[in-house]
Structure 1
Amino acid sequence: MRKTLMVALAVFGQAAGTLASAKLAFAGDQLTIVSWGGALQASLRKAVFEPFTKASGIKITEGEYSGEIAKVRAMVDSKTVSWDVLDASGTTAWTMCAQGLLETIDWKKLSLDRAKFGDVGKYDCGVPVQVSAVIVAYDKDKLPNGPKSISDLFDTKKFPGKRGLSKGPVPNLEWALVADGVPINDVYKVLRTPEGVDRAFRKLDTIKKDVVWWTAGAQAPQLLADGQVLMTAAYNGRITNAVKESGKHFEIMWDAAAQGWDYWVIPKGSPRLDDAYKFLAFGGSPQPQADLTRYIPYGPSNKDALALVDPAVLADLPNTPERDAIALHADNIFYIENGDDLRQRFTSWLAK
């Protein structure tokens, strides 16, 4: 804990001058930070919010939302911005940035090495927070020799039985193409063509009658536990928690795991811009990101944080080098441009 605090203070000092002067200048200041509630927000509170307040003297008022862009737009348009920092998921963050609802980040003010964030750091309106993944899970007690690749999800002869899938195009269209032989790095290139979209839906046709559709993350592990499905798409954190808290013998198959990144972003017109920058500098630094993994199995975005993660925890993270190499990396621009059309087609396909 002492080491954690010392590293946090050092990073904060780089971003905002000395800790003493920051406390003197900003005593009594506070930020309103909005995230997704639940286990994630509780984990952020322990790993990021409380240590930041201790290091900076800046108090945090928490809020919760469900990613509603309309709420942010209303604040920005009316110049009544009361949310200083948001935890925004990938497509939501990129959409708000494209619509001019977020501050463009000056990375020089953060004293963070942007290169340490890899490709996800090539986003102009925020700092990457953490990555979760949609994976395929199964019960080892009921299926000792489980699926090894995303193709097995579509192989009803080798694995007869029901499959659980999220009720939407993501990542089902991508997985369908991978299972149909498209190299994972070419998935979005193929999906950008009408022929590619047709190909993905044809592959989904092959398992449509064997799918149980879920709409909330908690449903996936429950379907598995109840034996309603042989395997299911699920959020990696839900499966890890089910194993640890309920003693289930669930196993994760990581092939083509669909990674999804969250970003710390600042609504345009935040009245506390300087303090918001201090928080982004802290939240993007290695130690707080590594500390987050102690509470929830989401991977850090800062590559230097991986070396600080407990080795026992690494086994549960979606972005270790080995898993990152076989992951499906979301193309946020693709879904900004094509998401509405694909969602409409998916709804029509389901109704047939």
Structure 2
Amino acid sequence: MSSKLKLIGLSSAVSVLALSAAAQDPVSLTIVSWGGAYTASQQRAYHEPFMEANPHVTIINDDGSANALASLRAQAQAGNVTWDLVDMLPSDAQLACDEGIILQIDHDAMLAAAPDGTPASEDFLPGSLGECFIPQIVYSTVLTYRPGAFPDDAQPSSIADLFDVENFPGRRALQDRPGTNLEWALYADGVDPEDIYEVLSTPEGVDRAFAKLDTIKDHIIFWTEGAQAPQLLADGEVAFATGYNGRMFDAIEVEGMDADIIWDGQVVEWDGWVVPADGPNEELVMEYLYFATDTQRLADQAKFISYGPARASSAGLVGEHADLGIDMAPHMPTAPENYFAPIVLDNDFWVDYGDELRERFANWMLQ
């Protein structure tokens, strides 16, 4: 071999080693979610396995999802996007997508197929995928109560009971946003779940919902962060609390809180990922998404929290809780015994009317 060829070979080897070293340079991904039991389930089902397979990657959790849309807008406006991946609700994701501050997703090109080869676009549950949105879970907002707050022979069982302060006295903890509260107000006032958004899209329907909420206004404590709702129940400060079914499951089954879930009128919704435009680690984020949204990983999350996986191929893999050893299927919002009167959240409605209703609700809280 000539010295020239040897030099070329040596140079090539050095280049390969340099590229390999560069690929393994330490990197941090900032992943934004909701905190509490939900982030913990993501940590165990997605983050830790991904970091184990990629030792140079460190995932940093940021509990900023409650205000993610406003924060992403501010980062984009400042030209300084620091978040890599964000857990976001579909209605906010659609707004962010329309504004161009998150990336569009080619689902079949960017996401894993099901084990039997079914493309991602056909494996994720119908209606769950968005132009810029990748669902992880089916979850619901539920009403939970303290049995000890009421006589043994007069326990609440419906959303109507939330609005019945005469027979079910006590404080009520509601989230400080119109979503779920307006739907439940109309449901408790006799509107069929399938007709709620038709009624709520009219001025008269909105007035009707707020009038129903007025009947319990003096009994409400408002919460902002998801962890506050079960804590208010556990501390005995309220008799009822609205909250995410997974957090309530964790508080009851893991923490031992004495409370029961009312599945009547559960407000069912998707939750999932969006990728900020101009994020610092886009290529690595796409690798993470391919891994974290495959069939097995979505089923794995159900080992740690009672949210249903967003892929059809994951459903049959849902088994026991990793720590408690209890069957998780009956605790899913989509379990037949729980899914008897669901209100399926209409994200298009909240995209169209959300700003107006959020403003009115904020004013109503201050009255």
User: Normalization by structure 2: what TM-score?
Assistant: 0.79
CA 343–74 in structure 1, closer or farther in 2 if over 3 Å, else same: closer
Judge which range, 263-272 or 193-202, deviates more. Answer: 263-272
Mapped to 1, the partners of 2:128 and 2:255 lie a distance apart of 36
Mapped to 1, the partners of 2:255 and 2:29 lie a distance apart of 35
Secondary structure of 1:108's counterpart equals: helix
Instruction: Select 2:31's aligned residue among 34, 43, 52.
Output: 34
Question: 2:334 maps to what in 1?
Answer: 319
Q: What code does the residue aligned with 2:183 have? A: E
User: Normalization by structure 1: what TM-score?
Assistant: 0.82
Is the contact made by 1:31 and 1:84 (CA closer than 8 Å) also made in structure 2?
no
Question: 2:356 maps to what in 1?
Answer: 341
Secondary structure of 1:323's counterpart equals: coil
Question: 2:95 maps to what in 1?
Answer: 95
What is the CA deviation profile of residues 222-260 of structure 1, one whole-angstrom value per residue up to 9, with x for unaligned ones?
333344333221232332222234433211001111234
Mapped to 2, the partners of 1:176 and 1:334 lie a distance apart of 17
Question: 2:46 maps to what in 1?
Answer: 48
**Number of positions where the alignment pairs a residue of Structure 1 with one of Structure 2:** 330
Percent pairwise identity: 38
Secondary structure of 2:331's counterpart equals: coil
Mapped to 2, the partners of 1:129 and 1:100 lie a distance apart of 22
Q: Gapped runs of 5+ residues in structure 1?
A: 1-23
Question: 2:211 maps to what in 1?
Answer: 202
Q: Say if 2:240 is the partner of 1:231.
A: yes
Mapped to 1, the partners of 2:80 and 2:361 lie a distance apart of 37
What is the CA deviation profile of residues 67-118 of structure 1, one whole-angstrom value per residue up to 9, with x for unaligned ones?
3334434554566544332222333322211211111111121243323322
CA 168–75 in structure 1, closer or farther in 2 if over 3 Å, else same: closer
Q: Say if 2:300 is the partner of 1:303.
A: no
Is the contact made by 2:30 and 2:82 (CA closer than 8 Å) also made in structure 1?
no
Q: What code does the residue aligned with 1:28 have? A: Q
Is the contact made by 2:90 and 2:130 (CA closer than 8 Å) also made in structure 1?
no
Q: What code does the residue aligned with 2:203 have? A: P
Q: What code does the residue aligned with 1:222 have? A: Q
Cα RMSD of the aligned pairs, angstroms, is 2.9
Question: 1:18 maps to what in 2?
Answer: none
Deviation at 1:198, TM superposition (A): 0.8
Mapped to 2, the partners of 1:319 and 1:226 lie a distance apart of 29
Secondary structure of 1:104's counterpart equals: coil
Deviation at 1:193, TM superposition (A): 0.8
Judge which range, 290-299 or 207-216, deviates more. Answer: 207-216
Q: What code does the residue aligned with 1:313 have? A: M
What is the CA deviation profile of residues 16-60 of structure 1, one whole-angstrom value per residue up to 9, with x for unaligned ones?
xxxxxxxx8994275624122443333212211222344567724
Q: What code does the residue aligned with 2:201 have? A: R
Q: Gapped runs of 5+ residues in structure 2?
A: 1-19, 114-119, 321-326
Is the contact made by 1:85 and 1:267 (CA closer than 8 Å) also made in structure 2?
yes
Is the contact made by 1:135 and 1:252 (CA closer than 8 Å) also made in structure 2?
yes
Q: Please say which structure displays the higher CA radius of gyration.
A: 2
Question: 1:269 maps to what in 2?
Answer: 278
Secondary structure of 1:253's counterpart equals: strand
CA 286–208 in structure 1, closer or farther in 2 if over 3 Å, else same: same
Is the contact made by 1:117 and 1:301 (CA closer than 8 Å) also made in structure 2?
yes
CA 138–31 in structure 1, closer or farther in 2 if over 3 Å, else same: same
Mapped to 1, the partners of 2:136 and 2:285 lie a distance apart of 14
Q: What code does the residue aligned with 2:145 have? A: Y
CA 124–322 in structure 1, closer or farther in 2 if over 3 Å, else same: farther
